[in-house]
Amino acid sequence: MSGVTLLCTVYNKEKFLPEVLAAIWRQVPDRPREFIFVDDGSRDRSVEIVRALTKDWPNCRIVEQPNGGPSSSTNAGIGLATQTYLKLVGSDDVLAPYATRRLIEILESTRSGGAFARIGFYRDPGEIVFDEAAADALQPHVPEDALGEVIRYGVSGTSPTLFRTALVQQAGGCDPAVFVEDFALALRVARLARIARFEHVVTWGPAADDTRIMVGQGHQAHHDFALALVNFLRAHPDLAADYGALACRRAAGRAWKYARRAAGFGWTSRYPWLNLQSYIKPPTDAAAFIEKTLPVYHAGAGPAAKPIVRVPRQA
């Protein structure tokens, strides 16, 4: 039976880790498992808690590294993964007991390289509800165009995903030049293999935790969505022009929405016109066009409090 690497990256999540670790331990106990935890320079007691609560776990490895961000820590774990399947877990997300089992079944039945399910958000832990019967009854959707699907709809986090480990390693893991890992990784996998969409909540995360990037640094997540597209398109200039046009529409639309809602920009700014241009006359250089949207994510209250993190591109 094929095994699973359960990879959890950790950064200052001490209050969530007991429940998160308990949920990880419940995953696919009938399969070979390895557990990898990468502490990304936590300043709280996170790594001590992981060590204490996993001290009796077999095949468990704990890695400590200087703070480098989600992509850096995820890539560190990907490089160590040896099992057939890779289950990524956010260190504040609680997996359904059946999450990994059901996602493996989906990969095997659809012969997909990745499966993307849904995440729910709670304000009180009592709101966390999982429905195994519903998960077993629901069938996945496998889009004909995996890359177009990911560009159009994106992903939300890594905890609702499952990948074939060899495929992730072939794809090069996360983009090391993008701080937030999820979307760039999905793009890389979708270029190589089919994906399965599974419209069921397999994990829950805290809705009001400001250490969560989408909560406390939403501008960073939006910025990195666009940056991931820029880097991906430049890395693959042979992609069909339709992908570049779709990427321009998605990036320009998100930038205009952010400009209105978070940055206070209006019709005299460049962003509504970039959005219009993306539909009327898609640019020939999609990456350069999308790059024009990046400055908006440095505006507004969010980046004033927590500036955008730019990861230096490695030589």
d(CA 139, CA 68): 38
- Predicted confidence at residue 313, as pLDDT, reads 60
For residue 291 the two structure tokens come to 């790059």
**Cβ(44)–Cβ(126) below 8 Å:** no
CA atoms within 13 A on the CB side of 9: 26
Burial of 304 (0-12, 13-18, 19+ CB in 10 A): exposed
Closest CA to 296 of 279, 283, 312, 308: 308
- Predicted confidence at residue 315, as pLDDT, reads 40
pLDDT along the chain (315 residues), means of 10: 97 96 98 98 97 98 97 98 98 98 98 97 93 98 98 93 98 97 97 98 89 76 97 97 97 97 96 97 94 97 92 61
**Cβ(198)–Cβ(149) below 8 Å:** no
- Predicted confidence at residue 50, as pLDDT, reads 98
**Cβ(92)–Cβ(121) below 8 Å:** no
Domain spans of the chain?
4-208, 217-300
Question: DSSP readout, 114-145?
Answer: EEEEEEEEESSGGG----HHHHHHPPPB--S-
Burial of 312 (0-12, 13-18, 19+ CB in 10 A): exposed
d(CA 166, CA 169): 5
Region for 28 from its dihedrals, namely left if φ exceeds 0, alpha if ψ lies in -120 to 50, beta otherwise = left
Looking at domain 4-208, what is its CATH homologous superfamily? Spore Coat Polysaccharide Biosynthesis Protein SpsA; Chain A (3.90.550.10)
Give 84's contacts (C-beta < 8 A, 6+ positions apart): 2, 3, 4, 164, 165, 166
d(CA 48, CA 288): 45
d(CA 139, CA 3): 23
CA atoms within 13 A on the CB side of 37: 27
d(CA 247, CA 187): 11
- Predicted confidence at residue 216, as pLDDT, reads 67
Over residues 198-238, the pLDDT tens digits come to 999 999 999 877 677 666 688 999 999 999 999 999 999 99
Residue 22 one-letter amino acid: A
